[in-house]
Amino acid sequence: MSTVELTNDTFEKTVLDNGIVLVDFWATWCGPCRQFAPVFDDASQKNTDIVFGKVDTDAQMQLAQAAQISSIPTLMAFRDGIAVFRQAGALPSSALEDLIRQIRELDMDKVRADIAAQDATKA
């Protein structure tokens, strides 16, 4: 699967309706973003069961602000609608593949239990 452009209108539905979603926040003027783009696209071709979304932070300023993006590129990963990873900076191919493996192996019941426990301590 190739990458898909995400907008303010499609972001939430994409994240909630798919198992694993990786989102690359980028801009055309950003050198590291341009270096990361082929790595991200290559991973999308190898992992066709994952949605690889791209958010142009210049065109989607409101979405970038809502996601609290302060530097680009920023990669976010969601699994079952839950944000499980966020990091600024371009990743090399091997690190991206390792990240994908780790996301696939996550025990989501444990993740949900950890979130519930954190929410309980805040109440």
Note the pLDDT tens digit of each residue in 60-113: 999 999 999 999 999 999 999 999 999 999 999 999 999 999 999 999 999 999
Catalytic one of 20, 33, 64, 72: 33
Give the pLDDT score at 26.
97
Return d(Cα 109, Cα 92) in angstroms, integer.
30
**Domain ranges (residues) in the chain:** 4-122
Residue 30 designated active-site: yes
Catalytic one of 23, 30, 51, 103: 30
Residue keyed to tokens 């192996």: 105
Residue 55 designated active-site: no
The string of DSSP codes covering 88-116 is ESPPPHHHHHHHHHHHHH--HHHHHHHHH
Task: Work out whether strand 82-88 and strand 74-79 pair parallel, antiparallel, or are unpaired.
Answer: antiparallel
Query: Would you call 47 helix, strand, or coil by DSSP?
Result: coil
Residue 122 has pLDDT above 70, yes or no: yes
CATH of domain 4-122: 3.40.30.10
